[in-house]
Structures are given as structure tokens and as C-alpha cells.
Amino acid sequence: MSLTLGIVGLPNVGKSTLFNALTRNEVLAANYPFATIEPNVGLVELPDPRLDRLAEIFDSERVLPATVSFVDIAGIVKGASEGEGMGNAFLANIREADAICQVVRAFSDDNVIHVDGKVDPSSDIEVINTELILADLQTIEKALPRLEKDGRKDKDVAAQAEEAKKAQAILEDGRTLFAAAKSGDVDLALLHHLHLMTAKPFLYVFNSDEDVLTDDAKKQELRELVAPAEAVFLDAQTETELLELDDEDAAELLAAVGQDEPGLQTLAKAGFDTLGLQTYLTAGPKEARAWTIRKGDTAPKAAGVIHSDFEKGFIKAEIVAFDDLNELGSMAEARAHGKVRQEGKDYVMVDGDVVEFKTGLTSGAKR
């Protein structure tokens, strides 16, 4: 599943620094046989310690985690929706992204110029959001006359027109549709056809320095500023340095800036979640592997991620929860304790499911 987060933000806030750290990771992740990667896409592994345990239980030769991809998008400046800076070109790129990852400068370093003269996350976020909101307003204004006209003959279109007007009022109020939908003020399903940018899921990365990373009150304040969107705090420059170090030195450097895991890993998890994705696990002598599906996917859909024939030929899924398998230590023990379940085509996948599919076409997904 190739869903991507588009990285946006003001110029000179550390997008490239973050992105370079992300793409450096791509080299590490190069053992992905099916990952055809565009040059401007950064792949980050989704850390999952459960895979190492599965590899131990099944004596797997290798471990294949899921990945999250980020696309670098040009910096946005005030007036971008009117054609300033990269202007409308960036809008097309953002439209293609499945979620928006906004990088916000929270580090203070007088040597690094801020386009608006001072470090002020709240005002920076407002600049970016305003441009996205203005672009969405343009889209709605263009679409409304047609929606209203067609709505006179078609009840479904009339509902879309009604929702578009609601969205217009929300945007004019300076709110994003993503935030409004979270509080139940607008139904995004009825707006889907308009490809609005502020309707995409948002994630905020505060590019911080040590002072911010170790200041819980400050972080809480920034978190509240962007809620209900998720916030990730990292130091993009430190992240780049981490990639050069061995585990021990890396842990030491992280601890020095008050972090307990690399920011790129935190970002990968938050990005995955923001995209509405989850994983399920398979394991065998060849590999222990995490497969990416959407939250809410059924068992046949999940099987289809391994091979489209598995979805068509789906018969059943044999599933054991990772926690049970972990505790009991082997499939045989899990079976003996009645922990291995047979699930049918309506089963909705749960995070941590360890799965073997039975299909009518081939003998399933044991790898």
C-alpha cells in the first residue's frame, strides 16, 4: 500500500534536513524487493519489536518491517495560493499526498534565518494553514454553482452542495476541515470529490532544539496548538547525526537531548497512524513480516495485500494474537491452548494478528 505524507512548511524550517535524514534511511531499507522509490520519496521503517520475537519463534531468516513514505514538497510562503513562491505547483503536489506533514520551526538559532524574522510556531502554522484554506475556498467557490444547479435534479448532489457550503463557512472561519470533521462539524465523505487539502489528515513535526525537547510544558503548549492533529517533536539536525552513529552512541546522543527513541521512528509511527494504516504479521522460516492495511480492513482485503489472488480465492484466515503467541512460545502451544482461531471473510483485522491465509488458489501465506 503506497500512501504518502506530503512534507510542507515555511522555507528554511528544516524540511530538507528532515527529509535527508528520512532518505538516508531509505538506503538502509533498500532490501525491499517491491519498493520502487521516486527520488523525492523518503521511506522510513515502522519500528516493530514484535517482528524480532516472531523471527525467534519461527526461526525466520529475515525480518521485513512495514514502511511509511514521505514526499518532499516545496516550501510554502504567504500568498502561495495566489501564485507567490512556487505558487500553484505546490498545490498539485499536496493534492496527491494522502496526508499532510507540516514541519514547524521550534529551534532558536540566530544563524538560521526565519523568513518572517522570528521563531513563532503559532504564526508559522497560521501562514501555512491560511494558504491551504484559501486554496480550498477557491476550489469550493468554483464547484458550488455546478453543485447547486445539478442539486436541483439530484438529491445526492444537493447533499454535497449543502456540505460544501458548510465547509465554506468553516474555512472562512479560519479552521481546517480535518479539525472540523474531528469535532463532527462536517462530513468529509460528502466532500471527497472536491479533493480539498485541509480535509486531509494533518500531522505536525516541531523541529526543535534541546531546550524545547526537554521542556514538557512547552511541548504541551505546542501539542494543544495543533490538536486534534498529532504532534511529533524532534531535532532534524540531531536525527541526521544519529544515522552516522552505532546504537550505543546514538542512544547516548538521544538521551542528551531528552529523547528515548529516534525522532524518525516516532515520526514513522505517527505518520502511519495519521494515514489510517495498521499492520498484521506473518511468519515462517523465510521471513517474519509486517503487512500494511487500512484500519478496518477485513481478512480477504488483508490477504489481497500479499497477492490479489489471495483476496479472490480467500477461504479463511488462521489467526493467533501476537500476545498469546509471545506468551506461549510456539504455534503448537498456541493451538494446544485453543488460541489459534479460524476467521471468515467478514472478520475485521486487529493490530497484532499473526496470520496464515487459506485460499482456494494456492496454499496461503506462510513464508
Ligand X SMILES: Nc1ncnc2c1ncn2[C@@H]1O[C@H](COP(=O)(O)OP(=O)(O)OP(=O)(O)O)[C@@H](O)[C@H]1O
Q: Tell whether residue 14 is among the known ligand binding residues.
A: yes
Contact between residue 343 and residue 265 where contact means Cβ atoms under 8 Å apart: no
Residue 109 binds which of ligand X, Mg ion, none (CB < 5-8 A, kind-dependent):
ligand X
Amino acid at 258: G
Residue 17 binds which of Mg ion, ligand X, none (CB < 5-8 A, kind-dependent):
ligand X
Rounded Cα–Cα distance for residues 50 and 356 (Å): 17
Cell numbers placing 224: 494543544
CB of 267 to ligand X, least distance (A): 14
Cell numbers 552516522 label which residue?
244
Residue 204 binds which of Mg ion, ligand X, none (CB < 5-8 A, kind-dependent):
none
Cell numbers 481546517 label which residue?
176
Cβ proximity to ligand X: between 16 and 130 the closer is 16
**Continuous segment of H or E residues that includes residue 125:** helix 121-151
Residue 346, class by beta-carbon neighbours within 10 Å (0-12 exposed, 13-18 middle, 19+ buried)?
A: exposed
Q: How many residues bind Mg ion (CB under 5 A)?
A: 1
The partner residues of 326 in beta bridges, in order of sequence, read none
Residue 181, class by beta-carbon neighbours within 10 Å (0-12 exposed, 13-18 middle, 19+ buried)?
A: buried
Measure the N-to-C terminal CA separation of the chain; round to a whole number of Å.
Answer: 19
Cβ proximity to ligand X: between 235 and 297 the closer is 235
Residue 138 binds which of ligand X, Mg ion, none (CB < 5-8 A, kind-dependent):
none
Contact between residue 151 and residue 31 where contact means Cβ atoms under 8 Å apart: no
Residue 273 binds which of ligand X, Mg ion, none (CB < 5-8 A, kind-dependent):
none
Q: Tell whether residue 12 is among the known ligand binding residues.
A: yes
Residue 16 makes contact with Mg ion by CB under 5 A: yes
CB of 240 to ligand X, least distance (A): 9
Q: Tell whether residue 207 is among the known ligand binding residues.
A: no
CB of 75 to ligand X, least distance (A): 3
CB of 19 to Mg ion, least distance (A): 7
Q: Tell whether residue 257 is among the known ligand binding residues.
A: no
Could you list the residues known to form a binding site for ATP, using ranges: 12-17
Contact residues: Mg ion, CB under 5 A? 16
